[in-house]
Chain A
Amino acid sequence: MSNPSVSIALTGSGGAGVMTAGQMLLTAAARAGCYGLMSRSLGPQIRGGESAALLRLSTAPVDGPDDIFDLLLAFDWGNIDRFAAELPLNENSVVIYDPGQGPVPEVVREPGPRLVQVPLKEIAKGIPGGRENMVGLGLITTLIGLDAASLRQVIEERLGRKGAEAVDTSWQAVEAGAEAATVDGLPRLDQASPAAPGSRWQISGNDAVGLGALRGGVRFVAAYPITPATEILEWMAVNLPKVGGALVQCEDELASVCMALGGSYAGVPSMTATAGPGLALMTEAIGLGVASETPVVIANVMRGGPSTGIPTKSEQSDLNIACYGLHGDAPHIVTAPTSIADCVFTAQWTVYLAEALQCPAILLSDQAMGQAQAVIEKPAEVAFIGRRKVARPADLENYQRYRITADGISPVALPGMPGGQHTADGLEHAPSGTPSTQAAHHQEQLDKRRRKLDRFDYGDHWAIRAGDPEAELALITFGSLTGAARDAVTRCAEAGLPVRLIAPRLLLPVQVERLEAALAGATKLLIVEQNHEAQLRHLLAGHIRLPAVVDSLNRAGPLTIRPGEIVSALTTLAA
């Protein structure tokens, strides 16, 4: 069944408290037993400026946005032109706005939503210390039928520190908002039963990557801040020391990736996080990681590019640099989580792969996932067997760091191990590690570095599969669009159109055989991705035999690709 959900957008200029209200709404929904997703759209201002909290709440798990917002609550119209395109409305949508904030702009009026005036500011003024965002919260929770007790609980948790008076004031504002909720016809949330305490989490994609990496064993992080990846680093700065790790802020990304390589060479699983401009700076040293066979994880949270691009908004346009950005023949690992919940798993798995394969691994997240919060089922604790293949005493007799082995993986000696001394080198080398310019050495080391990636068993984790595996129509996507793709596949199935969905977690090395097997029998393929140049399509076309008919649904950010668009594209392709 398709997902019965309510989509709500809260907009307002800085000071309106839009993000706080959105967060509280999400938490209240979670307390009431619902799932939800909240992403944010921010303007370029450092503080204040326009912002929108975009929520989708449901009694079933949500991994992506819906087609249309059921409700837009506008505290004001500040700079609405800049992001109205990210808030699709139609004639069934309801727009609640404050008449004191001027007329409804044409961009909002144009799709024909129902317009409802509520004097949010005036209502708030009627309560000493009352705030409009709390009025808005009361209004929304009542309209969608969310249990008031859950909201009360959230307010007490958030404001309890400030004393009973602060809680009372907010609660009065909420009640005043509830009284103003006289609009009918809005979709309401089904009654959910509260989940067992601790069985669900509220987490952002960026925090989830941090946690996954920590679970995976990362204990050293070298950091340089960049939007929209900084939260990964900030989360780790606080949480890594708790488990005995350390984070260092560096002078730039050239330093951060090299410090991480240093930490890893010393034997401690290490990572850094960045976005496009930082990844570009890191590429030379990632190549060093490939040649010297030093594991390192680089979490890259994609934003609009090229150059500084659109730092605050999502895009999936770093796939090319992640896969092809290294000089020389430099096989490495590129992964992509398929949802916020999956960020935990994929980050942990990525650390495991980097360590097991003694190779740099780039994890591609994106802003839509990284800076969004979701209410999810508590992610399972997974244990991967095996870590970096560390030299045993027998290996240390006449030790050769880059010994040629059947699986391409050579036991590594770590500083402190007597007899394991060697020089890790980005210069091509003989098996001993001694620099070499000989053709045979170059060939055998290139072969080995390729072989270790090709021979490894990635298991079932290489992709998420959904839909009908026998369907003639196939759909491939990656990253944060996987949620919309899942919704689209469900809707198509309900309409009698079977579709098979493949969302690779492992983008590099391209899983040629597995992808071809997953596509076997499919006659038509739609590739969905959030970038201008159809980078995923070109990556796939360069490696695997694709079905006879291939179409792309690709668009640059920041306008996310919504499930309805995917359904249309699939329907057209099927016809």
Chain B
Amino acid sequence: MSAIDADTAAPVLKASDYKSDVKPVWCPGCGDFSVLSAITKALAELGIPPHEAVVASGIGCSSRIPAYTTVYGFHSVHGRALPVASGIKLARPELTVLAAGGDGDGFSIGGNHFIHACRRNVDMTYIVMDNAVYGMTKGQASPTTEPDWTASKLTPDGPGISAFQPLEMALSAGAQFIARGFTANPNTLAHLICQAIRHPGFSLVQVLSPCITYRPEQRAYKNRVHQHFGHPEPATDRREAFARLMDDDGFSLGVLYKGSQPVYQPAPAPSATPEEVAAQFAIC
């Protein structure tokens, strides 16, 4: 679509065409700025016209992202980005659908939807801005927070329970594209998001997106991240992908797994009018 058409000479879309002029609520230095940038770059790279893409989100700092783009958006309620996005895609398969939000939104209150969205394999891309904290409610532990993190007044002795493993869950539940990115380089992240959008079926991109306000120590993420889950090519075999995850320190970047299960998309073809359907009730 981005190619210049001889007749209409449609301009090539730039990343800036996907950025709205609404000022984000995010703190200076928030990783989510870079995710916004990466999404806009990816959509431009894929040449998807802004009116043919939709971003659905839940609630949280990260979930504010739809309004910062120029595509169609649905900022829903806490935890429900995935069902809303699924409904959009199932009703209008021709649209490009993204779901986006935080780790609390996706793995805690929306955890059940996460599992079932992985299983259902609707063709859409889920971008989780994982800062291992509830940013919007000012710094409580999230499912991906380390058990010994003591900086929250709500869990002064640390949450004390082991962290949720999004990629293991996604792989177990049947996601067909599983990747991890980092905010330091929006171009690399954009490339990952492009691959995720292109991959048919449900794609998960976990983005390590530092919250420097409530987790200033996450500034050190840049020293911990490294390329690949032990291998430059994604696994296409689940057993292999699980094995790679067992060696993952949480900072491996890239595509872990690419599967090829069929996409879920009911494709009804109208063959009757409502009145023909109603005839089943007639007493003859």
Contact = CB atoms under 8 A, between A and B. Distances in A.
B92 A266 contact: yes
B256 interface: no
A220 B83 contact: no
B246 interface: no
Nearest to B268: A241
B75 A426 contact: yes
A203 B280 CA distance: 9
Most chain B CB within a 10 A radius of its CB, from A250, A254, A381, A421: A421
A197 B92 contact: no
Interface string B55-80: 01000000010110011111111011
Question: Chain A, interface size: which category?
Answer: 35 or more
B138 interface: no
A202 B270 contact: no
Contact of A258 (B71, B75, B83): B83
B284 interface: yes
B271 A203 contact: no
B66 A263 contact: no
Interface string B20-59: 0010000000000000000000000000011110101000
A459 interface: no
A261 B76 contact: yes
A248 B83 CA distance: 11
Interface in A206-248: 207, 211, 214-215, 219-220, 222, 239-248
Interface residues of B, number: 54
Contacts of A421: 50-51, 70-73
Nearest to A157: B284
Contacts of A381: 275
B283 A254 contact: no
A348 B66 CA distance: 33
Given A284-B77, A423-B67, A259 B50 contact: no
Contacts, number: 192
A427 B268 contact: no
B90 interface: yes
Nearest to B75: A425
Interface string A419-443: 1111111110000011100000000
Given A214-B277, A243-B277, A201 B91 contact: no
Nearest to B279: A198
Interface string B103-128: 00000000011011000000000000
Nearest to B278: A211
Contact of B90 (A207, A251, A263, A419): A263
B87 A259 contact: yes
A260 interface: yes
A222 B276 CA distance: 23
Contact of A243 (B89, B116, B272): B272
A215 B272 CA distance: 12
